[in-house]
Amino acid sequence: MPAMTHKKAKAVSAHSRAYPHWRSVASAIFREHHEFIPDEDEEYAVYNLFFQLGEQLQEAISRKDANRATAILDFAGRCLKGRLASDGEDISVAAGVSLFEHLFEDCPRADRPIMFSVLPHNTYIACRHWLHGWMSSTAFAEVDKDSNAYYFKRRGGGRRRKTPRPPPRPDGALP
């Protein structure tokens, strides 16, 4: 690992005070992956952890285990958005490359609503460029169309108003 400059060390230590470290969060949630978490080569440890979590996420989605899928996506989303500290490595890239690029790779279209139900919309927006970079344009367009339909419906889009709109006045003025 290259020597850390004073400026970088100050930024890392300030970031560490603001957010919990990814290792402590991962140790609490993913005890079965203890072999990756304390690895001194952090960059590869976090990549390996995300590859393992990606497999577990697909299993959780196929079993409709929302709790497990939510835990994985919450952790990965926090890493992607820089909300967990590291020792200077870019855990955002690790989350993007190792998990989010492959999110819909082995996810049948019938399971996408389950995936979207446990994937917060803001996390989906944050990972779109990873998906777009990895998937074919056609596959990405299909996933994006499905996500738009799911999140629009979830927001209540397309619902009829409970009270009908008043008819326009004969003189054309607004009521």
**pLDDT score at 72:** 96
**pLDDT score at 89:** 74
Measured CA distances, 15 to 6, 82, 129 (Å): 14, 9, 25
Tokens standing for residue 170: 């004969």
Virtual CA dihedral for 91, 96, 100, 106, nearest 10 degrees? -110
Virtual CA dihedral for 58, 59, 65, 70, nearest 10 degrees? -40
- Name the β-bridge partners of 21: 85
**Size of the chain, expressed as the number of residues it contains:** 175
Using the structure block, give the residue that is written with the tokens 């819909």: 104
**pLDDT score at 41:** 60
**Inter-residue contact 83 to 19 (CB < 8 Å):** yes
Burial class from Cβ neighbours inside 10 Å (0-12, 13-18, 19+) for residue 122 reads: exposed
**Inter-residue contact 80 to 127 (CB < 8 Å):** yes
- Torsion sign (Cα): 132, 138, 141, 146: negative
**pLDDT score at 38:** 72
**pLDDT score at 13:** 42
End-to-end C-alpha distance for the chain, whole angstroms:
69
- pLDDT per residue of the chain (175 residues) written in tens, 0 to 9: 344 444 444 444 444 456 788 888 988 999 888 777 776 665 678 888 999 999 999 999 999 999 999 999 999 999 999 899 887 778 899 999 999 999 999 899 999 999 999 999 999 999 999 999 999 999 999 999 999 999 998 877 555 445 555 555 666 544 4
SS3 for 50? helix
Using the structure block, give the residue that is written with the tokens 């738009």: 148
CA distance 165 to 161: 8
**pLDDT score at 29:** 92
**pLDDT score at 168:** 58
